[in-house]
Amino acid sequence: MTTVDATRADASAPTPTGELWPGKPYPLGATYDGAGTNFALFSEVAERVELCLFDADGAETRITLPEVDYFVWHGYIPSIEPGQRYGYRVHGPYEPENGLRCNPNKLLLDPYSKAIDGIFDWNQSLFSYTFGDPDSRNDDDSAASMPKSVVINPYFDWGNDRPPEHEYADTVIYEAHVKGLTETHPDIPEQIRGTYAAVAHPVMIEHLKSIGVNAIELMPVHHFANDSTLVERGLSNYWGYNTISFFAPDPKYSNASSAGGQVQEFKAMVRALHEADIEVILDVVYNHTAEGNHLGPTLSMRGIDNPAYYRLVDDDKQYYMDYTGTGNSLNVGHPHALQLIMDSLRYWVTEMHVDGFRFDLASTLAREFYDVDRLAAFFELVQQDPTVSQVKLIAEPWDVGPGGYQVGGFPPQWTEWNGKYRDTVRDFWRGEPATLDEFAYRLTGSADLYEHTGRRPVASINFVIAHDGFTLRDLVSYNEKHNEANGEDGNDGESHNRSWNCGAEGPTDDVGINELRARQERNFLTTLLLSQGVPMICHGDELGRTQNGNNNGYCQDNELTWIDWANADTGLLEFTRTVSALRAAHPVFRRRRFFSGKPVGRRGEGGLPDIAWFAPDGDEMADEDWGAGFAKSVAVFLNGHGIPGRDARGQRVLDDSFLLCFNAHYEPLEFVLPPSEFGDRWQVVVHTGAGDEQPSDDLDAAAKLTVDAHTAVVLRAVSADENSTMN
C-alpha cells in the first residue's frame, strides 16, 4: 500500500484522504464495493494515466494510477464513495497521421461510466486542434467544459422483480421516447414529466396495457451529447442517437437531485414496468459515438486509445471509416471494443434488468473488415454469451455503407425491423400497382425473407411507422416532408415517404378527405396488429399524433414531437384497443410457424388448408392473379384449426377461423364470402369504415359483402355451437 500521490491542478484542490492501493484490472470502470472504489481503464497506447477527482466546487485532484496489467491501468482508493465525480487524463503519443490522439490536456470520460453529471460546454477546449487549422495542436484544458463520470452505488432493492419473458409471438412492442411520451400528460405530476419515473407512472402503465402493449422500446437512454452544431442553432439532439457512454442512463430524463441518482430512478422504472408485466427494451447505438470524425471533439475513447476503439482508414489513419453517416464507426474488430459492447449489454441485463435491445444500424456491427459479414465476431460472441443470448435481440438491419441493407440476413436468433414490411404495406394502402403478392408475404410473416434461415414469423418486427419518418397521422396527410423548422433547407429527412395525403396537403376542412384519412389510419393499424410476426406501434400513433409534416424530428425537443395528450383522438384510441384485444384473444393471429397452404386436420383426416386466398369474386386466387398490376384487393382465410403445435398442457391449439377482406381500390368492391366448407356464417368484428357501415347481422356462406374503397373488414366464422344458441 502507498499513500495517495496527488498532483494538485489547483492550489485549493483537496487531497483525498486514505491510501492508494494497486487495485485490480477487472472489472473496468469505477467499482464501489462498500468500502472504497476500484478504478480501471484500458489503453494500449498510454504512457501514463491520471485519475482526476473533482469536488463539489469543481476543484481537481490528479492521481497517477500505479499499476498496469494487460494494458489496463488501475488503482483502488478506500476513501472514494458513491457520488464522487471523476475523469481521466491520458499521457501518450499525439500523432493524428498515425491514428494516435492522446492529449493529457483533455479531460476524458470513462468509457465504463455508470453515471455522468453535467453537460458539454461547447468551445475550443474540447477539441485537440485550433478551429480553422485542423493540422494544429490545441492544448487548452477542457476540464471546466466537460461533464464528469460519477461513482455510483450499485445496490438496489429489486424486491421480487422477475423478467416477464414474453414469447415473441405474444409480444406487442411500443416504440417510445421517454420525454415525448410523458411531457404533456395532464395526470402525471408536473415535476416528474419527461422522466423515467413518468414512464412508470400508473396512468402511463394503464394506457400501455389498455392497447395491449407488453414491451416498451425506449429510444436511446444511454448518455448522449447534444451536437455543437445543433446547440448553435438553438436546437438539441432530441432523439439521442449520439451516444458518449454505453453504461450510463442519461440524467436528462431524471428528476433525481443527486449525481448518479438517475441510475436508481431507471431501476425503479424497470421494476414498476415488470410488476405490470411490461418488458423494457432499449434502443442502443453501438455503431458510433459523439466524438465524430477527425474534426470532432476529444471527449473519451478518442483520447484514450483511438485506434482500438474506432475504425480508421487503412491507408490514412487520421481519418475515420464512417458506415453510419455520423463521422465514425466503432472498431468491432478489436477485442477491447468488442469487450466494451458485450460488457455494456451484460450490465444492462444483469444490473439494470432490461429485457432486450434494438440495435441501431446493426449492419455496422457486422463489419469486421469491409463487407458485412453475417458471422462477424460480434454475433458469435452474442450467440455464446449465456446472458445476452437469452434476451430479445432486434436488429435495424441496415447502415449507410456498401452492402449495408441486410433485411433477412441476420443470424437465426435475431429478429429484425422489417423495412420491407413498412414499404409494402404503405404502398398497398396508397394503391400502388403490383404490390398484392408482396403484401401477402408481409401479412403472413415474410417467409420469403426468414424461412430459408430456419427462422419463424416472429423474426419479423412489423412496423408501418417508427420514430424516423412521418407519424401515422402525417403519413395520410402529407405527400411531402415539411422540415423547415430543422433549419437545413429541407435537405434532411427522407424524400420518398410512400405517403398519400388523400387529396389535400396538411390540415383541411374537407369532411370527405378527413374521413378517408381516418379510414387509412385504421387500415394501417388493422394490418399491423393482425399480421403474423411482432407488431410495433410508434408512440402516439394510437392517439393521432402529428408533427405537422416534419419527418425528421431528431432536433425538435418541443411540442412538435411530444404527444399532445389534451387533443388525443379518442376514437382512434378505442379502435386500436379493439383490434389489439382481438389479436391477444386469438392465436391464429400470433402463429409461431409459417403457413403451409396445405390441408390440416386430425391424423388421417383431410381438412381445410391453414390459409386460403380469395379474389373479390369468391374464387381462390390463381397464380396470374397475384401479378396483375391492377389488383388491389384480396381476402384471406385463416384457419383457426390449422395452428401447429400444442399449448402448455399438451392440447392442440384450436381457435376461431377468420376472413380478412382488404380493398385498397379507389372504388367499393363486392366481395363474395367463401363457400360453406370454410364457414356457414360470418360475423363482422372489425370494420375500418365509419361505424354505420358495419353490418349488424351475421352473413351466410357465399353471401355478398360490399367493402368500401380503402377499407378493411375482418369477419369471424361463427361456430356451430353459437349457431345453435342463436337458433
Q: Which residues are catalytic?
A: 360, 396
The 3-state DSSP class for residue 454 equals: coil
Which residues are 686's β-sheet partners? 714
Q: Which three cell numbers stand for residue 317?
A: 489513419
Contacts for 93 with CB less than 8 Å, ≥ 6 apart: 45, 47, 100, 102
Burial degree of 417 (CB within 10 A; 0-12, 13-18, 19+)? buried
CB 465 within 8 A of CB 419: no
3-state SS track over 117-134: ECCCCCCHHHCCCECCEC
How many Å apart are CA 169 and CA 321, to the nearest integer?
A: 38
For CA atoms 118, 119, 120, 123, give the dihedral sign: negative
Can you tell me which residue has the cell 487495485? 23
- Count of residues making up the chain: 727
* Contacts by 4-12, CB closer than 8 A, 24 or more apart: 4/63, 4/77, 5/63, 5/64, 6/61, 6/62, 6/63, 7/50, 7/61, 7/62, 7/63, 7/64, 8/60, 8/61, 8/62, 9/52, 9/59, 9/60, 9/61, 9/62, 9/143, 10/59, 10/60, 12/59
How many Å apart are CA 319 and CA 329, to the nearest integer?
A: 11
In this structure, what is the dihedral angle of CA atoms 415, 418, 419, 423, given to the nearest 10 degrees? 180
How many Å apart are CA 82 and CA 263, to the nearest integer?
A: 12
Distances (CA, A) of 497 to 420, 555, 583: 13, 19, 28
Looking from the CA of 123 toward its CB, the CA atoms found within 13 Å total: 11
How many Å apart are CA 336 and CA 333, to the nearest integer?
A: 9
CB 418 within 8 A of CB 426: no
Contacts for 631 with CB less than 8 Å, ≥ 6 apart: 436, 625
Angle, helix 301-309 to helix 335-350, in steps of 10 degrees: 110
The residue type of 84 is Q
